[in-house]
Amino acid sequence: MNHLTSPAVRWTVALALALALAGVTTVVSILLMPDFSGTHADWLAEIAGDPGTAAVSAHLFAFSQLLVAVGVVGVAVQVFPRPPRLAFLAAALVVLQAFGHAAHAGFNAVILAMAAGAGDATTHVELLERTEAGLLPYMALGLIGTVLGLILLGAALLRAGYGPRWLGVVLIAFVVVEFGLSGLSMWAGYLAGALFLVAFLAMAVLTVRGADDAAHVPATQQAVARTAS
């Protein structure tokens, strides 16, 4: 029974849970997200119409950022021996993404408070516009970190041979669909959510299984082994 309670097993289980929950909380938060396609006044009216759902979405989005950062860093550590630069850059960019999105989560909290509170709607809109303008660098960091971080993570998984080859492709496809096609159709948004969820659940399963042994062996050692054989 000692091996079941070893630190390595506990960390593995914790990482797998972080990955699985990252996928679930991210997708659910997006599905419950209010319509932010209109003006700031429209946002407030949309949230005021269903404040409970908007609050759940905002809190899940904030919580998901910690899970995504922890999960991706854990996967990057697993594949680091094969493509160290790709793994490091992917982890660093996703951590920066989580930081930028955390600032966005704070902005969401402000919107929730304004939608629920009494006051002059015009004043609320002006404050939201100023707040959003001040947070634009952080929001841009979240966007850039997501796009580049997940593309590099997908490339690192492909380079390391971590799990099935479709896993890295799915992560890259998520970025393409989410940021290239989601504006064309709402179904593209649903597809992007499905791709994200499948990728993170797959990484959770691979973490529990230990993934492929080759992903934990440096490329130089593998080359020596092939030469010797």
User: What pLDDT, on the 0 to 100 scale, is given for residue 118?
Assistant: 58
pLDDT of 174 higher than 80: yes
Task: Say whether 112 sits in a helix, a strand or coil.
Answer: helix
Instruction: Encode pLDDT of 143-155 as tens digits.
Output: 999 999 999 999 9
User: What pLDDT, on the 0 to 100 scale, is given for residue 7?
Assistant: 62
User: What pLDDT, on the 0 to 100 scale, is given for residue 213?
Assistant: 47
What does the pLDDT average to over 113-129?
A: 77
The packing angle between helices 84-116 and 51-79, to 10°, is 170
Q: What is the DSSP letter of 81?
A: T
d(CA 109, CA 5): 39
Instruction: Encode pLDDT of 20-53 as tens digits.
Output: 999 999 999 999 988 877 788 888 888 888 888 9
Instruction: Encode pLDDT of 51-103 as tens digits.
Output: 889 999 999 999 999 999 999 999 999 998 888 999 999 999 999 999 999 98
In this structure, what is the dihedral angle of CA atoms 19, 25, 26, 27, given to the nearest 10 degrees?
Answer: 110
Closest CA to 194 of 183, 211, 178: 178
